Each structure stands twice: as C-alpha cells, then as structure tokens.
A and B are shown apart, each in its own frame.
Chain A
Amino acid sequence: MPQPLSLAGDRATRLATIRAAFPQLDGPDCSFVGGRTAAMARLAKIDPVAYDKSRNFLDGAVTRLSPYLRHGCITLGEARMHALAGWSPQRAWKFIFELAWRDFWRRVWKSLGPAIRKDVEKPKVTLGHAPLPDDIRRGETGLPCMDATVRSLVDEGYVHNHARMWFAAYCVHFRKLSWRACADWFVGHLIDGDLASNHLSWQWVASTFGSKPYIFNKENVAKYSANRWCATCTADCPFDASYPALSKRLFGTETP
C-alpha cells in the first residue's frame, strides 16, 4: 500500500515535509500561502479602481490572485462577482477584462490540446531556436532588469505581468532563444504556472499567436519600473533605442 504524505500540522512543518519529500529541489520556502482562506483574504484587499490606474506599473495595485485562480482555490466567477459587489461595472471593468484573458487562453488551450507547445501560427518575423543558456537560468545576464526578473521568478515564483513581457521579449527577440525552451522553464517556477496563460503569452510575444512580435525599449522599462534599475544601471543596454531602430536591428525592418 502507498504511504500517505502527512500535510497536517503547522505550515512550517508542512513546508519542511515537502522539502524532505523532494530532496533534489532547493531554494527558499514558498512565500505565497496556498489555499482558499489565503485567496479570500487577498480578494478582500483588491482595489479595482487603483488597479485600473496602475496595473502596468511594477509597483501598481495588481492583485496577485493568479496562483489561487490557477489552482481553483477561487474561481474567475467569484473574483468577478466580488468586484461587482463592491464597485460599479465601470470601475470593475479593467479587472474583469483581465480575468477574461485567463478564460480566453484556457479556451484556446482546450481547443489546441497538446499542440499548445508548438507554433500556433507562422511567426511574423524570423525566430531563433537556441536552447536556454545558463546566464538566463541563473540570472547572470549582466542586465539588472532581466536578472531581477529571474531572481523573483526563481525565489518567489511570481513576476509582474509587464516584467514577464519584457523578459519574454528579451529571450525570444534579443537573444533569439527558442520560445518553447524558455516557456517550459519559466512555467515550472511560477506559482501560477499554467500552460495556457504561459505558453500562449510566450507565443504572443514571439508572434506565433498574434499579428506582430512584442518588443520594448529602455524608456518603457524606466517608466513602468519607476526607474528602479535604469537610474543606476551601468550595463551596455540593448534596449536603449527607439522602436523603429530596435525593430530594424532585431528584424531587419522598422515595422515588422
């Protein structure tokens, strides 16, 4: 008979039990407390008005509900109803719009099945196929903005949406890495890791599920990160250019 794994007791004991059961894995303990109670507490704190204004900023009022939605601790419907119970539909609009993205990606996954791991459409630009290099895996690219993203991915298992987009674009377009190799690695670290939202977002950035590739420049990072890296950065910044110039450098044309 298989032996049950005892998860009872306090959280510290439980985390230690898992650490002992998976001795090949290491790193800090999970900073997100799992479960519905924690999900409901987080839901009670959301502010759809502040969310609407600040969602794209790294220090904006994002909800961090994704790990709980991913594991069904709460449903998208409950999150929507909670917003509509406290705010007018106009004020809750942006939050509900973003919830709908999750539902959309999931529907696409259901219709694609295992093909989600392959290009959904022909890429609109030439993509690279290089495997994931160690400097990315270890967060040692020398670019403070990208290395910080890897650190929060690996240590916390959560990365802000905008930083996920920058990082994916860096890997796929600036480094010409295989989106699939990157996506497979990235998703394993995310507490909200989900084949639909993750792999299809990587494909959206790559342009295999969208009409054009997503890229960003230094101005965009500086603005939405409140200059947290750029102000003191001494790296030779590959993002410091206008969009047409970057596009020409990356894709050979100013408008891909």
Chain B
Amino acid sequence: MSRILFLHDEMLNPQHALLLANPDLPRVFVFDTQQLERDQFSLRRIQFLADCVAEIPGVTAYQGVISEVLRELGVTSVVTQRTPQLHVASALAGFQVEWHDEPSFVDFRGRLKRFMHFWKAVETQLVGEAAAGRDAA
C-alpha cells in the first residue's frame, strides 16, 4: 500500500471528486487519537464521523496517530484534499502529498475584511442580478 487516498474529516462524501477520479487507490481514514483528544471531541462527534466513513465504499478505518498508522501501512505517497486544519498537514509532512483544492463555492479574490463587504462582492454571483441588493436585516 504505497500510495493511498487519504480521507480527512472534511471530505466524507461517497461522491467526492477524488474518490471518483481514483477508484483504484486504497482509501484510508484514521480516527486520530491525539487530535480527537486535544480538540476535546465528544463521543457523538466521533460517532457521526463513523457514520460518514461507513457510507463510503472501500474505506479502511484505523484508530491511532495518522503518521504512525500510515507508516506502518507502508504508505509513501498520499492523495487528499487541501485543508486549513493544521494537524492534517503536520501528520502528512513526512509523506509525498498530492493536495487537491476543495470545491469552490464562489469566486472571490479581494481582501477579506468584514462579511458584508465580502457579501456585496459575491452576491450577484450567488443569487443573480435580479435578487441582489436586498437588505440583510
């Protein structure tokens, strides 16, 4: 198992583009004991994750520390979705990673200030000319 599709907790969709594009890659999900404890995950959150993972065909789930589990499995290279979750990037630091962008909701390249500034910039894209301009209150 040298190359895998690594599923983290922001991409738990059986129709995810990376699953469809890589039908032959082994699919791995890890209940990361260190992260779950550090981030104070409740039992219910972990059960929710388990439901999501169980619905994706062909995924093997492990419990442990991500980097250790992958190393023990003989993984050297990983395909996954980009995420701002630092623990994912740190866990995968010792592997060759092919990061893919997450699906985009809207195109915005301006400077991020307040939400209403962002909304005014993207509103027409999201609701069209005719509906744009409504008072948010």
Residues of A within 8 A of B (CB): 1-5, 7-8, 11, 14-15, 17-19, 21-22, 25-38, 67, 70-77, 80, 88-90, 92-93, 96-97, 99-101, 103-104, 106-111, 113-114, 154, 156-157, 184-185, 187-191, 193, 195-196, 210
**Contacting residues, chain A, for B53 (C-beta < 8 A):** 7
* Distance of A108 Cα from B14 Cα, bound (Å): 28
Cβ-closest chain B residue relative to A28: B44
**Contacting residues, chain B, for A191 (C-beta < 8 A):** 44-45, 48
Residues of B within 8 A of A (CB): 9-16, 31, 36, 39-55, 60-64, 68-69, 72-73, 81, 84-86, 102-106, 108, 112, 114-115, 118-119, 122, 126-128, 130-131, 134, 136
- A71 CB contact (under 8 Å) in B10, B41, B44, B60: B10
- B112 CB contact (under 8 Å) in A15, A76, A77, A107: A107
- Asked whether A97 lies within 8 Å of B50 as measured between CB atoms, the reply is no
- A36 CB contact (under 8 Å) in B14, B68, B85: B14
- Asked whether B51 lies within 8 Å of A14 as measured between CB atoms, the reply is yes
* Distance of A63 Cα from B85 Cα, bound (Å): 25
**Contacting residues, chain B, for A71 (C-beta < 8 A):** 9-12, 48-49, 52
* Distance of A104 Cα from B102 Cα, bound (Å): 15
In the complex, what's the smallest C-beta–C-beta distance from A141 to chain B, in angstroms?
20
**Contacting residues, chain A, for B126 (C-beta < 8 A):** 80, 96, 100
- Asked whether B54 lies within 8 Å of A93 as measured between CB atoms, the reply is no
